[in-house]
C-alpha cells in the first residue's frame, strides 16, 4: 500500500488533483454550516458584483448568493457523479464479466448490444431519456448511467478474455472452485486497476453530463447545480459575468482534478511503470 | 453622422409646413413622410402560415397585419378608427351596425374589395375558422349589402363590445373570389396570401426570411412609404439582439428581445424603445390556481399567497421594468378598468402568515405548513426565474413548492386537462372584459380546454354579473357590473394576478410612425417611413 502511495505521489499533477478534489468534497460537506440557508433563498439585492461581504462571489438575478449556490451545487455534482458511476459500473461489470468469461454466442450477443448503445451519441441519448422521464434527480442519474456503461463492459470483457486463460485461473478450475468464486475471487480483483482509472474519469464525465443537462434546462428544477447556474447566467453574461464564470470555474477545477487523479492512479497501478521505478 | 441627422430633421420640418396633412390622425408626426427604403426586421417564432383566421398566433398577426386589413383599427384608448370602413353607425336599439366601406380598395390580385368580401369574411370565413369570433359572430342574425360599399349587420340582441371584433387580428377581410367554395385551410392560395393591405407577399424561404413588397395599388394615396419589409427568422435570442445592435435589422418587436437586454438598447442613442401598442391585447400574467386542490380552494390561502409575492420585485428585477404591476383581474388598458376598486393584497409576509394560521394551516417541525406543486411555464428563461421566485417567496411563509418542468405542448395539455396544482399563465383581454376576462372566471366556461376557466373557480354572483355585462347594451350598466366584479374578484383572488404584460418595440429613431395604434407592431405599416 505504501508503495502505491509513493508511486501515486510521484505524479505531482495527481497530488494537486487530489487536493482540489478534497477541497470540493469539504465544501460540499460544510455547505449547510457555512451557508445556513437554502441556496434558492434571496440573500441580497439582485446582480450584486463579487466582493460584497455578505455575498463574496456576488448575487444572481434573484439576489441568490452565488457562493452558496456553488457550495450546494458541489453536493449535487458529487452525488450525481458518484451514484451514476456506481450504477454504470454495476451494469458494465456484470455484462463485461458475462461476455468475457462465457465467450461464444453469449459474448457476441452482449457485445452487439453494447455496440448498439455505443453508436448513439451519449449526450443526445441522455437528453432524450431525461426529456421522456421528466427531469428529476432519479431520471438524471439513470440517464447518465445508461449512456456511460458501454466502455466499462468493453474494458472488463477484454480483461476477462486475457485473464481467464492464465495459469492461476486454470489452477482454480482444476481445484474445482465454482464459477462465481473464480469470477469474483480470482479474475475480478486482477481486473480492478483499469477499472479504478476508468471510474475516476467516469465521475468527471458524469459531472459534465449533468452540467450539460442542467445548462439546457433539463436539470432537476429543485436542485441547485453548477450547470443550472451557468445556464441561468448565460443570457445576462454582459450584465453579471460572475453568475456563470464562478460555477464554470468550479466545474473546470473538479473535472480537471478527477482527470489528474485518474492519470495518477493509472500510473501508480501500471505494473510496467512500477517496475521501471 | 450627427450633422446629417440634423440636416434631414431640419429639412423634414420645413417640408411638413408645406405638405398638406394626409390624415388628421397622422398630423402629429413632426417630419414629412418620405418614400423608399427596405425595413429589415424579425419574426419569432416562424409562423406555420400567414393567413389570419386560419392561424392567429402572434407571429401570424405580425406579418399578416401587413398583408390583410380589418374594417377598423383602435386608438390607444380602444376607440375604433377607420380602416377598410371609412365610417360606421349604430342604430338606437344597438342591434344594427352599418359600415360604409372605403372605395377604390383592391386586393393584391387586382380584384375590387366590396361588401360581398366583407360579409363572406365575417359570416363564412371567420365563423368557420376562429374559435374566438364564432360565439360573437353567431349573434349576427342578418348580414346584408344594400350597395357594394355598405355592410349592414343586425344582431339578435345588443352586444356592446361588438365593434372591438373588427380589427385585422380578429376579423381580417379575405378575398371571397379565392376562398368561396373551397376548404379554407387547404386552399393553395394560403401559401401566397392575397389581402388588401399596404404590403403584398413576395417570397418566403422557410427558416430564412419572409419578403413583402409595397402594393402599388394600395388605396391610401402615396402609401405605403416603404418599398419592402423583410422579416428574418432568427431563432436564437442572443443572435437577434446582435442583429439589432449591428443594424442588420432596424426593428424588433414582441418577444424578439429578452427583457434583460432592453436596458442596453435603451442606452443606444440611435434606437428607441417603445412599450405602447399592446392596449388591445392587454395581457395579464398570473399564478394559475387549480381550485380543486386543497387548500387552494380556501380564499385565505390564496390571499396569503398574494400577500407573499412582491410584484414590484417581479416587474423590476425579472422583467427589468417592462410591464406594469397588476391591480386586479382587468388590465388598466382594458375598457371598464376601475382604479378605485382594483386593489390587490400588498406585499406583507406577516399578514400572509396570519391568514394561513387563521386557515388552520400550522407549520410543522420544519416550518412547513403544506406542500404544493408548481408547473413552470416553458416560455423561456424569465418564466423559469418567476417559478423559482414563487417557490422562494412561498417558502418564507411556510409553503413548500415543488417545481415541475415540461415543454410547451405538454404544458398546454396539462393545463387543459386540469392536471396541475399551480402554474403560471398569461392571457389576452382583447379590449373588453366580456371578450377576454369573463372566460377565466365564469363557471359556465369550466372546460377541459386551455384558456378557459381551467382553475375551476365558481361563484354564482360573478356568473350573474358577467351575464349582465354581456347582455346589456348600456355601457353604464356594464360599467357598474364590471366594477362590482373587480371588487369581488380582488377579494376572492381566484388567480394570483402578477403583471400587466408589455412587449418592447425597439426601432431605429429614423424609422417613423411605428407604433400608432393599440394594434402596435401588428398594424399595417402603410404610414411607416425612414426619415
Q: Give contacts of B395 with chain A, Cβ < 8 Å.
A: 38, 40-41
Amino acid B526: pLDDT: 94
The enclosing domain of B235 has a CATH number of: 3.40.190.10
Amino acid A276: pLDDT: 57
Higher pLDDT, B466 or A234: B466
Full residue range of the structural domain in which residue B123 is found = 69-179
Please give the average per-residue pLDDT across A259-272, as a whole number: 85
Q: Read out DSSP for B380-446?
A: -HHHHHHHHHHHHHHHHTTEEEEEE---HHHHHHHHHTT--SEEEEEE--TTSHHHHTHHHH-GGG-
Is the Cβ pair B392, A62 closer than 8 Å? yes
Burial B166-199 (b: 16+ CB within 10 A, else e): bbbbbbbbbbbebbeeeebeeeeebeebbbbbbb
Per the DSSP assignment, residues forming a β-bridge with B90 are B97
Amino acid B167: pLDDT: 93
Is the Cβ pair A61, B385 closer than 8 Å? yes
Alpha carbon distance A74, A28 (integer Å)? 5
The pLDDT of residue B509 is above 50: yes
Selection from A19, A146, A33 nearest residue A87 by Cα: A146
User: How many of the other CB atoms lie within 10 Å of CB of B283?
Assistant: 18
Which tens digits make up the pLDDT trace of A139-151?
Answer: 999 999 999 999 9
Q: Which residue in B237, B392, B407 is closest to A41 by CB distance?
A: B392
Place of cell 360573478: B462
Confidence of residue A5 (pLDDT cuts 50, 70, 90): confident
Q: Give contacts of A217 with chain B, Cβ < 8 Å.
A: 384, 405
Burial of A132 (0-12, 13-18, 19+ CB in 10 A): exposed
- Per-residue cell: B32: 414629412
Compute the Cα dihedral for B152, B156, B162, B165 and give only its sign. negative
A residues 222-261 lying closer than 8 A (beta carbon) to B: 222, 232, 235-236, 238-239
Amino acid A273: pLDDT: 65
The enclosing domain of B397 has a CATH number of: 3.10.105.10
Amino acid B25: pLDDT: 46
* Chain A residue nearest residue B260, CA to CA: A236
Lowest mean pLDDT segment, chosen from B40-49, B97-106, B488-497: B40-49
Lowest mean pLDDT segment, chosen from A6-15, B206-215, B346-355: A6-15
Which tens digits make up the pLDDT trace of A79-137?
Answer: 999 999 999 999 999 999 999 998 889 999 999 999 999 999 999 999 999 988 888 99
Q: Give contacts of A136 with chain B, Cβ < 8 Å.
A: none
Q: Evaluate whether B249 touches B43 at the Cβ level (below 8 Å).
A: no
Q: Give contacts of B405 with chain A, Cβ < 8 Å.
A: 134-135, 217-218, 221
Amino acid B451: pLDDT: 86
The pLDDT of residue B22 is above 50: no
Is the Cβ pair A222, B402 closer than 8 Å? yes
The pLDDT of residue B380 is above 50: yes
Q: Evaluate whether A218 touches A134 at the Cβ level (below 8 Å).
A: no
Selection from A189, A181, A203, A218 nearest residue A258 by Cα: A203
Does residue B243 sit in the same domain as residue B359? no
Amino acid B169: pLDDT: 92
Helices (H), A48-187: 66-102, 104-119, 122-133, 137-163, 167-174, 179-181
Lowest mean pLDDT segment, chosen from B105-109, B342-346, B497-501: B342-346
B residues 118-177 lying closer than 8 A (beta carbon) to A: none
The enclosing domain of A16 has a CATH number of: 1.10.3720.10
| Length of chain B measured in residues | 531
Does A40 lie at the interface with B, CB-CB under 8 angstroms?
Answer: yes
Is the Cβ pair B405, A134 closer than 8 Å? yes
Q: Which residue in B258, B388, B402 is closest to A40 by CB distance?
A: B388
**Total domain count, chain B:** 3
Q: Which residue in B260, B388, B395 is closest to A62 by CB distance?
A: B388
Amino acid B29: pLDDT: 52
Amino acid B20: pLDDT: 35
Amino acid A103: pLDDT: 86
CB pairs under 8 A between A and B: 49
Substitution target in B366, B388, B391, B422 with the highest count of A β-carbons within 10 Å is B388
Does residue B439 sit in the same domain as residue B296? yes
Per the DSSP assignment, residues forming a β-bridge with B252 are B506
Substitution target in A46, A62, A132, A244 with the highest count of B β-carbons within 10 Å is A62
In a domain, B400, yes or no: yes
Please give the average per-residue pLDDT across B243-251, as a whole number: 95
Min CA distance, A221 vs chain B (Å)?
A: 6
Which tens digits make up the pLDDT trace of A155-178?
Answer: 999 999 999 889 999 999 899 999
Does residue B167 sit in the same domain as residue B213? no
Q: Give contacts of A68 with chain B, Cβ < 8 Å.
A: none
Does A170 lie at the interface with B, CB-CB under 8 angstroms?
Answer: no
Min CA distance, A131 vs chain B (Å)?
A: 8
Min CA distance, A256 vs chain B (Å)?
A: 30
Average pLDDT over chain A, rounded to whole?
A: 90
Selection from B512, B513, B63, B506 nearest residue B256 by Cα: B506
Is the Cβ pair B381, A222 closer than 8 Å? no
In a domain, B14, yes or no: no
The pLDDT of residue B204 is above 60: yes
Amino acid A275: pLDDT: 57
Peptide bond into B45 cis (omega under 30): yes
Of all residues in chain B, the percent with pLDDT exceeding 90 is 80
Does A38 lie at the interface with B, CB-CB under 8 angstroms?
Answer: yes
Alpha carbon distance B180, B120 (integer Å)? 8
Amino acid A211: pLDDT: 93
Min CA distance, A129 vs chain B (Å)?
A: 13
Alpha carbon distance B397, B301 (integer Å)? 11
The angle formed by the CA atoms of residues B272, B276 and B281, to the nearest 5 degrees, is: 140
Does B474 lie at the interface with A, CB-CB under 8 angstroms?
Answer: no
Does B419 lie at the interface with A, CB-CB under 8 angstroms?
Answer: no
Selection from B465, B482, B437 nearest residue B337 by Cα: B482
Q: Which residue in B237, B387, B406 is closest to A134 by CB distance?
A: B406
Amino acid B190: pLDDT: 93
Is the Cβ pair B391, A238 closer than 8 Å? no
The enclosing domain of B164 has a CATH number of: 3.90.76.10
Q: Give contacts of B387 with chain A, Cβ < 8 Å.
A: 221
Confidence of residue A8 (pLDDT cuts 50, 70, 90): confident
Does B387 lie at the interface with A, CB-CB under 8 angstroms?
Answer: yes
Is the Cβ pair B381, A235 closer than 8 Å? yes
In a domain, B192, yes or no: no
DSSP strand pairing (B72-74 vs B370-375): unpaired
The pLDDT of residue B524 is above 60: yes
Min CA distance, B426 vs chain A (Å)?
A: 21
Does residue B263 sit in the same domain as residue B333? no
Min CA distance, A134 vs chain B (Å)?
A: 7
Of all residues in chain A, the percent with pLDDT exceeding 70 is 97
Burial A71-102 (b: 16+ CB within 10 A, else e): bbbbbbbbbbbebbbebbbebbbebbbbbbbe
Substitution target in A41, A217, A244 with the highest count of B β-carbons within 10 Å is A217
In a domain, B58, yes or no: no
Amino acid A272: pLDDT: 67
Amino acid A274: pLDDT: 58
In a domain, B356, yes or no: yes
Min CA distance, B453 vs chain A (Å)?
A: 27
Selection from B115, B88, B82 nearest residue B100 by Cα: B88
Amino acid B56: pLDDT: 83
Which tens digits make up the pLDDT trace of B386-402?
Answer: 999 999 999 999 999 99
Which tens digits make up the pLDDT trace of A40-57?
Answer: 988 888 888 998 888 889
In a domain, B428, yes or no: yes
Amino acid B201: pLDDT: 96
Min CA distance, B403 vs chain A (Å)?
A: 6
Q: Evaluate whether B271 touches B528 at the Cβ level (below 8 Å).
A: no
Average pLDDT over chain B, rounded to whole?
A: 90
Q: Which residue in B238, B317, B403 is closest to A61 by CB distance?
A: B317
The pLDDT of residue B19 is above 60: no
The pLDDT of residue B43 is above 80: yes
Q: Evaluate whether B60 touches B52 at the Cβ level (below 8 Å).
A: yes
Alpha carbon distance B366, B368 (integer Å)? 5
HSE (CB half, 13 Å, CA atoms) of B330? 28
**Total domain count, chain A:** 1
User: How many of the other CB atoms lie within 10 Å of CB of B237?
Assistant: 18
- Per-residue cell: B220: 391610401
* Chain B residue nearest residue A47, CA to CA: B317
Does residue B117 sit in the same domain as residue B231? no
In a domain, B37, yes or no: yes
The residue out of B121, B148, B179 marking a domain boundary is: B179
Does A44 lie at the interface with B, CB-CB under 8 angstroms?
Answer: no
Does residue B147 sit in the same domain as residue B243? no
The pLDDT of residue B12 is above 80: no
* Chain A residue nearest residue B238, CA to CA: A235
Please compute Rg for chain B using Cα positions: 24
Which tens digits make up the pLDDT trace of B401-425?
Answer: 999 988 888 888 999 999 999 999 9
Is the Cβ pair B384, A217 closer than 8 Å? yes
- Per-residue cell: B249: 435589422
Does B239 lie at the interface with A, CB-CB under 8 angstroms?
Answer: no
Is the Cβ pair B317, A235 closer than 8 Å? no
Q: Evaluate whether B180 touches B166 at the Cβ level (below 8 Å).
A: no
Q: Give contacts of A40 with chain B, Cβ < 8 Å.
A: 388, 391-392, 395
Q: Evaluate whether B190 touches B207 at the Cβ level (below 8 Å).
A: no
Please give the average per-residue pLDDT across A213-231, as a whole number: 90
A residues 77-116 lying closer than 8 A (beta carbon) to B: none
Full residue range of the structural domain in which residue A196 is found = 2-276
In a domain, B4, yes or no: no
User: How many of the other CB atoms lie within 10 Å of CB of A185?
Assistant: 12
Amino acid at each position: 500500500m505504501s508503495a502505491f502511495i509513493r508511486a501515486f505521489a510521484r505524479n505531482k499533477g495527481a497530488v494537486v488533483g487530489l487536493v482540489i478534489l478534497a477541497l470540493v468534497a469539504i465544501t460540499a460537506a460544510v455547505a449547510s454550516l457555512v451557508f445556513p440557508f437554502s441556496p434558492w433563498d434571496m440573500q441580497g439585492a439582485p446582480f450584486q458584483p463579487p466582493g460584497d461581504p455578505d455575498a463574496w462571489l456576488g448575487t444572481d438575478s434573484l439576489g441568490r448568493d452565488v457562493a452558496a449556490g456553488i457550495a450546494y451545487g458541489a453536493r449535487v455534482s458529487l452525488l450525481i457523479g458518484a451514484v451514476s458511476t456506481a450504477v454504470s459500473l454495476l451494469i458494465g461489470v456484470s455484462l463485461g464479466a458475462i461476455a468475457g468469461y462465457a465467450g461464444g454466442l453469449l459474448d457476441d450477443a452482449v457485445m452487439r448490444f453494447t455496440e448498439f448503445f455505443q453508436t448513439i451519441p451519449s449526450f443526445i441519448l441522455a437528453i432524450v431519456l431525461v426529456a421522456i422521464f421528466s427531469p428529476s434527480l432519479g431520471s438524471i442519474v439513470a440517464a447518465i448511467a445508461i449512456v456511460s456503461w458501454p466502455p466499462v463492459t468493453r474494458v472488463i470483457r477484454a480483461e476477462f478474455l486475457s485473464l481467464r486463460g492464465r495459469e492461476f485461473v486454470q489452477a482454480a478450475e482444476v481445484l474445482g472452485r465454482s464459477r462465481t468464486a473464480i469470477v469474483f475471487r480470482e479474475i475480478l480483483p486482477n481486473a480492478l486497476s483499469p477499472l479504478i482509472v476508468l471510474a475516476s474519469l467516469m465521475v468527471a464525465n458524469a459531472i459534465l453530463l449533468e452540467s450539460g443537462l442542467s445548462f439546457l434546462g433539463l436539470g432537476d428544477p429543485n436542485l441547485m447545480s453548477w450547470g443550472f447556474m451557468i445556464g441561468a447566467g448565460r443570457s445576462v453574461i454582459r450584465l453579471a459575468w460572475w453568475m456563470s464564470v464562478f460555477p464554470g470555474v468550479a466545474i473546470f477545477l473538479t473535472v480537471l482534478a478527477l482527470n489528474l487523479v485518474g492519470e495518477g492512479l493509472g500510473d501508480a497501478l501500471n505494473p510496467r511503470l512500477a517496475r521501471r521505478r | 453622422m450627427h450633422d446629417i441627422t440634423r440636416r434631414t430633421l431640419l429639412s423634414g420640418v420645413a417640408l411638413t409646413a408645406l405638405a398638406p396633412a394626409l390624415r388628421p390622425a397622422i398630423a402629429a408626426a413632426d417630419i414629412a413622410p418620405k418614400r423608399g427604403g427596405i425595413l429589415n426586421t424579425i419574426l419569432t417564432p416562424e409562423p406555420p402560415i400567414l393567413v389570419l383566421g386560419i392561424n392567429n398566433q402572434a407571429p401570424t398577426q405580425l406579418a399578416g397585419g401587413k398583408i390583410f386589413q380589418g374594417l377598423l383599427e383602435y386608438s390607444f384608448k380602444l376607440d375604433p378608427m377607420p380602416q377598410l370602413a371609412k365610417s360606421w353607425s349604430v342604430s338606437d336599439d344597438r342591434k344594427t351596425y352599418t359600415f360604409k366601406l372605403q372605395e377604390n380598395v383592391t386586393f393584391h390580385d387586382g380584384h375590387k374589395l366590396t361588401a360581398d368580401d366583407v360579409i363572406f369574411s365575417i359570416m363564412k370565413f371567420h365563423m368557420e375558422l376562429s374559435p374566438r369570433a364564432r360565439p360573437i359572430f353567431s349573434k349576427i342574425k342578418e348580414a346584408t349589402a344594400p350597395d357594394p360599399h355598405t355592410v349592414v349587420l343586425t344582431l339578435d340582441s345588443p352586444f356592446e363590445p361588438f365593434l372591438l371584433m373588427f380589427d385585422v387580428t380578429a376579423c381580417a377581410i379575405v378575398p371571397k373570389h379565392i376562398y368561396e367554395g373551397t376548404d379554407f385551410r387547404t386552399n393553395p392560395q394560403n401559401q401566397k396570401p392575397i389581402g388588401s393591405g399596404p404590403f403584398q407577399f413576395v417570397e418566403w424561404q422557410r427558416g430564412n426570411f419572409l419578403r413583402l413588397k409595397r402594393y402599388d395599388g394600395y388605396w391610401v394615396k402615396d402609401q405605403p412609404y416603404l418599398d419592402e419589409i423583410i422579416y428574418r427568422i432568427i431563432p436564437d435570442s442572443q443572435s437577434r439582439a446582435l442583429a439589432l445592435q449591428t443594424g442588420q435589422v432596424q426593428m424588433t418587436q414582441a418577444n424578439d428581445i429578452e427583457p434583460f437586454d432592453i436596458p442596453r438598447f435603451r442606452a443606444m442613442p440611435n434606437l428607441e424603445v417603445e412599450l405602447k401598442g399592446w392596449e388591445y391585447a392587454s395581457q395579464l400574467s398570473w399564478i394559475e390556481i387549480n381550485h380543486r386542490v386543497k387548500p387552494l380552494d380556501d380564499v385565505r390561502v390564496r390571499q396569503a399567497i398574494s400577500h407573499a409575492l412582491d410584484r414590484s420585485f417581479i416587474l423590476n428585477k425579472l422583467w427589468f421594468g417592462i410591464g406594469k404591476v397588476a391591480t386586479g383581474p382587468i388590465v388598466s388598458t382594458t375598457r371598464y378598468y376601475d382604479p378605485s376598486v382594483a386593489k390587490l393584497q400588498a406585499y406583507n409576509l406577516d399578514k400572509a402568515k396570519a391568514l394561513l394560521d387563521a386557515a388552520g394551516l400550522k407549520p410543522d417541525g420544519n416550518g412547513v405548513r403544506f406542500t404544493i406543486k408548481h408547473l413552470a411555464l416553458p416560455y423561456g428563461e424569465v418564466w423559469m426565474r418567476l417559478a423559482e421566485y414563487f417557490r422562494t417567496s412561498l417558502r418564507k411563509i411556510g409553503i413548500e413548492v415543488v417545481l415541475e418542468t415540461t415543454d410547451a405542448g405538454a404544458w398546454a395539455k396539462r393545463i387543459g386537462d386540469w392536471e396541475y396544482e399551480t402554474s403560471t399563465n398569461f392571457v389576452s383581454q382583447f379590449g373588453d372584459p366580456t371578450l377576454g376576462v369573463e372566460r377565466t372566471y365564469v363557471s359556465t366556461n369550466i372546460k377541459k380546454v386551455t384558456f378557459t376557466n381551467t382553475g375551476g373557480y365558481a361563484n354564482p354572483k360573478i356568473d350573474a354579473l358577467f351575464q349582465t355585462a354581456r347582455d346589456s347594451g348600456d355601457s353604464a350598466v356594464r360599467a357598474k357590473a364590471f366594477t362590482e366584479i373587480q371588487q369581488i374578484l380582488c377579494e376572492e383572488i381566484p388567480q394570483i394576478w402578477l403583471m400587466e404584460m408589455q412587449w418592447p418595440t425597439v426601432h431605429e429613431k429614423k424609422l417613423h410612425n411605428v407604433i400608432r395604434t393599440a394594434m402596435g407592431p401588428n398594424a399595417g405599416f402603410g404610414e411607416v417611413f425612414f426619415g
